[in-house]
Structure 1
């Protein structure tokens, strides 16, 4: 197999074979049990919690209300939606409008009819649908980041980890974070695709569309836009023919397409923020300092003390409201800390294995670099946001969800195959236990009678049915975890034993073997009777179908 930029070992030739990715339909079918499990617990969470419990959710719902009325909100003009928790100013006005444009047809008529709680319930349900789409996008992205024989395992485990993250489950509220996760996953998948397999007109168009969607969802997606532009430029440089000047020109033109598309499609909104507030993000630090008691802090102070900074005090598997329900909150935080530490160790193990097989290519480095930069960049942006009187919430880390899922998946993928299922089961139970316990304790205060409604206004039997579906889905997720197929058979003239059967009389003389070695992949309709396991040299020559599996093996 020949990869762009790769060189076969001396004296050997590789069979040219394009990079093969799992189709989207195959990926969706693969992670269907995970989607069932997640949708059940996310809906149960959204149906159980009190509607419009805080001013943040009210402000987001009001944004959709104002869009339904044909205008964009302005910070100083306040809210149209006046309920008990309405804030004095419209502090979500700095967000781009795409999410609210999508939500307005669903919640706008209910708000106009005077049913804000019903509108919020519908909005939470819509957000759960978007979160399911986000998980499909994450699964697709992982299948592009780690193609090869182990793509199914990487995709399944990574998506299962993402589905257990409590900020994603608890943002079964009316917030715009899930849509940002969708576009970040799509951007990561497109970046990986062009780095592995090259640039085409279709992929370039997709990159441009996703770049616009990113900047029209949340300002913190600018990191992914920059990484997507860089990946497209690298792919353009690698695919160009000719000298260095033509390569750099191709890289510049390719990278300019998503960059200019993002500027043309979303730049108007950020120019509006600059006109209204003086900054492209649209924040109001002076108002926050005066009315919310927030003040500028040092970077070190934020890193050392912020309760939501998941790198030091991981809240990926905790429910914020579960803090009073010890020890469940600590179980979730401990599970996240152990999972991240195991992920770092697992990544080191996988790297050593890849180095031993000489399977570390420039594509692998570039793809991993995109994911790592998005992960680290999200934390860096959060710290800078907090230093400027910004608020703190675990959901602000959702742009790093794909990187977190892959990091934890590294720890599981480094385990022997027979241990992975149990490792995944233990992780899911520890990660989801705080959320399940929160549901039970929260609703307990309102009663579990079958003829009652939850605090969210939904009949209790519906929530009970969702929890049964969640339990069934969890069992199926663990039971259906895929394992890698057996390595595809190889045939090598170096490895095959010499035949001792004499040639028939009158046959043509034997043709001398060419210099070096040749090896081919036999047809897929059955193993070749003379096939032998690949030698170390052959495994090093092909990182995709090595005996260890895919590129991230």
Structure 2
């Protein structure tokens, strides 16, 4: 009993550290990025403005562009997205969307995204717990402390994009799918998954990938479920009813919007046909498939989507090294564990292992479609599979025994420092040759320009550092508790 309470206490302490680390770095992103945001922020802000005024944006034209003090022409790049994120943002910021006070609206929406990002930390921890057959708390904390510190995720958590809400809903849907496979497809769980599915499809079209995995998981769980024992007619009826709910509810909630996209562009995922964009060269599908960046993006862009200097190398090089080491550690662990693998592996547990990977593969397919033509290869489009990154980094760190806590803290610190490096690069208007410390200082300067005392930046930096230390300490304690529990069971 005492050991269980001690384990629970250190788990909560570790998760508090993971939340503190993310919250500090995400607030730095929200408060230390210029109010104009990154390239597409203005289109998302315009979408919020139009929803606040009872409209959906058309594919062409921006009604609210504070950068020019009025409306502007050209493509409305956010118009292909469903309206849920923008409706939620309009509720909290719509009244501030005037050319005299738009900065306040930007701040409110950024803080909303920080909340979504913080909720994602907890959702990632939940999925990690469900994915761990041995229920290792150290693993749960390590996953939660690493995955959400992905540089682009931190950046978008402090900006105006719908990707963070998408990531939260995708992670929750993956968790519901795994729980369904573990505990059986109960009606409350089906209703919850259907509601998340509806919200996801009203957030971004790529949620269809996660929904497909959830439907597959429900089918497996339904056919393998042994409780209660029903006759085949009743069991078949229950399966059809549950599958129907999971399919129909998201469809009914979002079909109207995707029908609009089809009417506008001929494609349910776009509001306008593919056309030349920003001087980018046109790429065929084979061009994209022949680009090594397409395959490396998930590991190459961990520490930033654009290649910039970091720790004497490039952030992409450090990303690949960090990811490579993690994958090697997992491979060594898997080889060593093979003789001890359980013989009671079920179809459900195979699907549980493959579900997050299936989401990642689906996101790669969506990335291929997006990059074909005039699109880009960007880790942002793989956000729904954020949990996979956590399972890799968190899993690798916790294979190191008594230094697992130190390893996790080090990974978190490197990822946080990379995020600061990237935010500083943006704050200095992206010049080459600016060092890491100067970039970090420029973030503080940007926060001062936003009317905040410089001390607030320093406090957030201290909170981030202390939170990483707390994560490391908690994992170290949890590893010792788990080692003692394992020894006593033998």
Report TM bin, short chain: 0.7 to 0.9
1:89: Cα distance to partner?
A: 2.4
Verify the 8 A CA contact 1:37 1:474 in the aligned structure 2.
yes
Residue 49 in structure 1 maps to residue 49 in structure 2: no
The aligned counterpart of 1:467 is 461
The aligned counterpart of 1:485 is 482
Structure 1 SS opposite 2:74? coil
Q: Distance in 1 between matches of 2:58 and 2:292?
A: 30
Q: Distance in 2 between matches of 1:455 and 1:87?
A: 30
Verify the 8 A CA contact 1:346 1:411 in the aligned structure 2.
no
Structure 1 window deviating more from structure 2 (203-212 vs 242-251): it is: 242-251
Name the TM-score, length of structure 1 as normaliser: 0.76
1:277: Cα distance to partner?
A: 1.7
1:425-436 residue pairs with structure 2 within 5 A?
425-436=409-420
Give CA deviations for 1:263-283 in whole Å, capped at 9, x if unaligned. Answer: 111111111111222110024
Residue 341 in structure 1 maps to residue 335 in structure 2: no
Q: Distance in 1 between matches of 2:52 and 2:424?
A: 36
1:139: Cα distance to partner?
A: 1.1
Q: Which has the larger radius of gyration?
A: 1
Residue 81 in structure 1 maps to residue 65 in structure 2: yes
1:213-228 residue pairs with structure 2 within 5 A?
213-228=199-214
The aligned counterpart of 1:505 is none
The aligned counterpart of 1:177 is 163
1:392-541 residue pairs with structure 2 within 5 A?
392-415=377-400, 417-438=401-422, 442=427, 444=438, 453-454=447-448, 456=450, 458-481=452-475, 482-483=478-479, 484-485=481-482, 533=489
Verify the 8 A CA contact 2:32 2:444 in the aligned structure 1.
no
Structure 1 window deviating more from structure 2 (388-397 vs 447-456): it is: 447-456
Q: CA RMSD in A?
A: 3.3
1:174: Cα distance to partner?
A: 0.8
Q: Distance in 2 between matches of 1:116 and 1:279?
A: 33
Q: Please point out which of 89, 94, 100 is paired with 1:114.
A: 100
Q: Please point out which of 263, 266, 278 is paired with 2:266.
A: 278
1:469: Cα distance to partner?
A: 1.3
Verify the 8 A CA contact 1:308 1:314 in the aligned structure 2.
no
Structure 2 SS opposite 1:88? strand
The aligned counterpart of 2:365 is 380
Verify the 8 A CA contact 2:303 2:316 in the aligned structure 1.
no
The aligned counterpart of 1:362 is 347
Structure 1 window deviating more from structure 2 (478-487 vs 275-284): it is: 478-487
Number of residue-to-residue matches in the alignment: 467
Q: Distance in 2 between matches of 1:419 and 1:451?
A: 37
Q: Distance in 1 between matches of 2:445 and 2:304?
A: 30
Q: Please point out which of 166, 182, 188 is paired with 2:151.
A: 166
Cα distance 1:132–1:453, how it changes in 2: closer, same or farther (>3 A)? closer
Give CA deviations for 1:399-449 in whole Å, capped at 9, x if unaligned. Answer: 11011211223322333x213123223322332332234456646479779
1:459: Cα distance to partner?
A: 3.4
Structure 2 SS opposite 1:78? strand
Q: Distance in 2 between matches of 1:65 and 1:393?
A: 27
Verify the 8 A CA contact 1:216 1:266 in the aligned structure 2.
yes
1:456: Cα distance to partner?
A: 5.0
Where do 5+ consecutive residues of structure 1 fail to align?
1-23, 491-531, 535-553
Q: Distance in 1 between matches of 2:83 and 2:288?
A: 30
Structure 1 SS opposite 2:63? coil
The aligned counterpart of 2:257 is 269
Q: Please point out which of 88, 110, 120 is paired with 1:134.
A: 120
Q: Please point out which of 172, 185, 206 is paired with 2:192.
A: 206
1:362: Cα distance to partner?
A: 2.3
The aligned counterpart of 1:547 is none
1:346: Cα distance to partner?
A: 5.1
Verify the 8 A CA contact 1:321 1:438 in the aligned structure 2.
no
1:389: Cα distance to partner?
A: 2.6
Structure 2 SS opposite 1:180? helix
Verify the 8 A CA contact 2:360 2:385 in the aligned structure 1.
yes
Q: Distance in 2 between matches of 1:31 and 1:375?
A: 25
1:181: Cα distance to partner?
A: 0.9
Give CA deviations for 1:158-190 in whole Å, capped at 9, x if unaligned. Answer: 111113211111111111111011111111111
The aligned counterpart of 1:257 is 245
Structure 2 SS opposite 1:50? coil
Q: Distance in 1 between matches of 2:440 and 2:154?
A: 21
Give CA deviations for 1:74-119 in whole Å, capped at 9, x if unaligned. Answer: 1124333342496622110110111111111222111136222232
Cα distance 1:350–1:245, how it changes in 2: closer, same or farther (>3 A)? farther
1:367: Cα distance to partner?
A: 0.4
Name the TM-score, length of structure 2 as normaliser: 0.85
Cα distance 1:329–1:129, how it changes in 2: closer, same or farther (>3 A)? same
The aligned counterpart of 1:37 is 21
